[in-house]
A and B are shown apart, each in its own frame.
Chain A
Amino acid sequence: MKQKHSIEKYLFTVPVIIYSFLLILLPLLYVLLISFFKSDSYGGMIYTFTLSNYAEIFNITYIRIFLKSIGIALITTVICLFIAYPFAISLMSKKETTRNLLIKLVMVPFLMNSLIRTYGWIVLLRKNGIINSALIGTGIINSPLSLMYNNLGIIIGMVYTLLPFMILPVYSAVSKVDPNLVEASYDLGASKIKTFTKIYLPLTISGAFNGSLMVFIPAIGYFFITDILGGGKIMIIGNLIKNQFLTARNWPFGAAISIFLILMTLILVKIYKQLGGKMDDLGGM
């Protein structure tokens, strides 16, 4: 019996151990290792210990890219919050079956290829696109607005691509708020804003942070959105890492930036856990 138990145990635990060591830990440790190597001018690596890759991050050119990237990700997160909360709270006025259907409908566009959806925004936003044509056609503006190939285009693309990751956890948190509390707050004469800041927000803060995490972190890395809607002029950290690995072929520097991103992520996750968030709720749908 004892013997049988241990065979079963190996069967169920060995795969996850091999997987997590071979495909998660080993690759990350290797990236950590090469972040201390030197790059030669031919795209190769010299195996000597150096901290110069980390020092280079503090070069003003890269600091600018970092700040820009974090700025875009933050604005994206805030806009997603400002869309998700009113949407989730408005949804609560519907019957449960309607609510479930509407939440499924939020997911449908998300199941479509994200590049195709981003392309849809080009058709809408470009100089001779639908929004500009409509605005000029109705005489509201005379010359087309620059809606893409700039920061605005990137932010629209990021918000659009990442919005479901905010709506789902925020909605799930809002739907757990006791409606009696909300009613009591109104009965006691609190305004809508006060009810939001005193009831909804404190009770849903871990859901909101879950969503913020799942929006903010990818927004730093989604180089394809800056490439397509930023017109290739604007760089975020994702583009920087991509260039170091595939174009400039300076792997050690690219690795150092990646380690920096991992540290940033771990800090954010730590805050999330401190707010009472559960790891299994992250990235779930």
Chain B
Amino acid sequence: MNKGKWIKNLTIILTFIFLYAPIIILVVYSFNQSKMNVVFTGFTFKWYKTLMHNTDLLEAFRNTLIIAGVSTVTSTIIGTISALGLYKYNFPMKKLVNGLIYIPIVIPEIVLGISLLSVYTIANLQLGMPSLIISHIAFSIPFVITSVRSTLNLLPKEYEEAAYDLGANKFNVFTKVTLPLIMPGVISGATLALTLSMDDVVISYFTAGPGSNTLPLQIYSIIKTGITPDVNALSTIMLVATIIVLTTSAIYQSRKIARRGY
């Protein structure tokens, strides 16, 4: 191996060590007998058992799943409709709307968090699950729109025209032609919305109320007061779940490519 190649491989390896070090540490210590994350004293599953009895953490996890589920479905539907609307139609103030949808992507999350909190206060909306779900929908929609739009821009117009020429009605063209063609964009938008929602700390911090702790907020308060290894156990479970989802979608995609030949 020549010197240049060796340096390149080293660069890649070092970057991955940096990216994975804290995660591997957490996984390893989730099986550690000692409560302190310093010396490995022996293998155990006891933190996974403790986790099953940590009702606060499980409750927060349940809330996170509900919020992420509802907000992902809603923002994917609204986002897809919006992307199509912005792509196909002209309407008054389109330019303004087009500019506004980028704001949640670019401004610091904290600004969106406090501005949503402010309107909830004037609207007299009590902070809790509904305010959290609305907030998550609010910051997810733009990501779905841009994701769907990027596939729309690549879409040849001939497909829809051909369908019309062959006598399909508008509804059929939409469900049988347009939707399947933009599906990759819809799915990647939905994945993005799901990830953003599951991980959100900043906006949730301002829009959560009593009894509506999300998992990131619960972990935040645990880290500040003193962490126990059952959090390591939970993060290991989440990591494994993430990897399973990613691998399945990768396999699904490569099969689809193999079948269709593109």
Least distance between B182 CB and chain A CB atoms (Å): 13
Contact with A along B211-232 (1 / 0, CB 8 A): 0000110011001100100010
Closest A residue to B13 using CB positions: A90
Closest B residue to A132 using CB positions: B38
B110 and A241 contact, CB distance less than 8 A: yes
**Contact residue among B104, B147, B246 (Cβ-Cβ distance under 8 Å from A104):** B246
Closest B residue to A100 using CB positions: B250
Residues of A within 8 A of B202 (CB): 221-224, 238
Residues of B within 8 A of A223 (CB): 110, 202
A119 and B26 contact, CB distance less than 8 A: yes
Closest B residue to A16 using CB positions: B82
**B262 contacts the other chain (CB 8 A):** no
Q: Looking at chain A's contact residues, is the secondary structure mostly helix, strand, loop, or mixed?
A: helix
Contact with A along B24-47 (1 / 0, CB 8 A): 011001000000011000000000
For window 131-168 of B, CB contacts with A under 8 Å fall at 134, 137-138, 141, 143, 145-147, 149-150
Residues of A within 8 A of B96 (CB): 20
For window 2-33 of B, CB contacts with A under 8 Å fall at 5, 7-9, 11-12, 15-16, 18-23, 25-26, 29
Q: Interface residue count for B (Cβ, 8 Å)?
A: 87
- Tell me whether A117 and B111 are in contact in the complex, defined as CB-CB below 8 angstroms, given that A17-B97, A123-B29, A128-B38 are known contacts: no
Residues of A within 8 A of B111 (CB): 31, 221, 241, 258, 261-262
B239 and A112 contact, CB distance less than 8 A: yes
Which 4 residue pairs of A and B lie closest in terms of their CB atoms, listed nearest first?
A: A120-B22, A12-B85, A221-B108, A16-B82
The interface of chain B, by Cβ under 8 A from chain A, is 5, 7-9, 11-12, 15-16, 18-23, 25-26, 29, 37-38, 78, 81-82, 84-86, 88-89, 91, 93, 96-97, 100-112, 114-119, 122, 134, 137-138, 141, 143, 145-147, 149-150, 170, 188, 192, 195, 198-199, 201-202, 205-206, 215-216, 219-220, 223-224, 227, 231, 234-235, 238-239, 242-243, 246, 250
Beyond A17-B91, A23-B134, A280-B149, 8 extra complex contacts between A and B, CB < 8 Å? A13-B86, A34-B118, A83-B15, A108-B246, A115-B219, A221-B111, A258-B111, A269-B102
Q: What would be 15 A-B contacts, judged by CB atoms less than 8 Å apart?
A: A17-B93, A23-B116, A30-B115, A87-B12, A90-B9, A90-B12, A111-B199, A113-B215, A118-B223, A124-B25, A217-B108, A224-B220, A258-B110, A269-B102, A285-B188
The interface of chain A, by Cβ under 8 A from chain B, is 4, 8-9, 11-13, 15-17, 19-21, 23-28, 30-31, 34, 83, 86-87, 89-91, 93, 102, 104-109, 111-124, 128-130, 133, 160, 163, 213, 217-218, 220-224, 227-228, 238, 241-242, 245-246, 251, 254-255, 258, 261-262, 265, 269, 279-280, 282-285
